[in-house]
Amino acid sequence: MRTFRTKKETQTEIGLQKLKGKTIGYVATMGFLHEGHLNLVAKAKEQCDVVVMSIFVNPLQFGPNEDFERYPRDEKRDSELAEKAGVDYLFYPTVEEMYPEEPMMEIRVTKGTDVLCGASRPGHFDGVAVVVMKLFQIIQPNKAFFGLKDAQQVAVIENMVRTFDIPVEVIRCETVREEDGLAKSSRNVYLSDEERKLAPQLYQTLLKGRELIQAGTTDRDKIISFLTSELNKFSLGKLDYTDVLSFPTLNVEKQLTGEVIIALAYQFKQARLIDNVIVRVGEEL
């Protein structure tokens, strides 16, 4: 594995690989790698000749009450994990390399950000869009692999690619889960023993919502009412939100059609967990 610090050397080397006819798979991360990231690398290796990973903690997507400086960083550990997973090139730029001057323009995401987690993080997805646009331009991958654990981010990126005709295929990768169905997350370590026993029921509730749609229910309000009732039965924690939206447009549709996301956020004492499932209306059970 080779590590690059600058945009120029990254573009030069990857450009040479593309001239050789190699397909480029790309995994974007903010580091502190975990099993979810490594699963994306495995998917990229299955489909592409060369795998590029970026590690960059993007200041533009941190709000005023979110501590950019405290975000966990461990370059040595991340480099070892990336190499062991089979990454060919690691792009590890500084903030100064990515943003050498005050931007003369911005990207503003106008749809799909006032719902789900974006409702409480104004401007967050604008920052995501800017950095992903820049990274796509630097690396110019054939395929980019993103995990559906953060489905709203996947939706924003898919919509950006479609809006600006970016020649990148976005590959959705299923959420990595524990054996009992709980979505793997670094936050799970903050769950008490009782909370950990309850947490898998979040996913089971989402599956019940999916079954409702598969059985023919298309009334959004009925599904949300059912999910809310089920989630409010839990003896621990508190429901932050549950929602059912079109995907990836993230529009509110009273009568559901096409592809749909069923999502939730649930607050335990020291951990806020998010999860989702995606279903196509009319899909058989």
Active site residues: 37
**Residue partners of 195: CB distance under 8 A and separation at least 6:** 236, 237, 268, 269, 271
137 annotated ligand binder: no
Alpha carbon distance 180, 49 (integer Å): 34
* 118 is known to lie in a ligand binding site: no
Which among 56, 52, 55, 53 is positioned nearest to 24, based on CA atoms? 52
Annotated binding-site residue? 147: yes
User: Using alpha carbons only, how large is the chain's radius of gyration in Å?
Assistant: 20
User: Is 36 flagged in the annotation as binding?
Assistant: yes
Q: Which of 262, 231, 229, 258 is nearest to 245 (CA)?
A: 262
Q: According to the annotation, is 150 in a ligand binding site?
A: yes
Residue 34 assigned as binding residue: yes
With the CA atoms of 131, 99, 83 and 176 taken in that order, what torsion angle do they form, in degrees rounded to the nearest 10?
-20
Residue 111's φ and ψ, nearest 5 degrees, are: -135, 145
33 annotated to bind ligand: yes
124 annotated as ligand-binding: no
Which residues define the annotated binding site for (R)-pantoate?
Answer: 61, 153
Annotation: binding site:
30-37, 61, 147-150, 153, 176, 184-187
User: Which residue positions form the known binding site for beta-alanine?
Assistant: 61
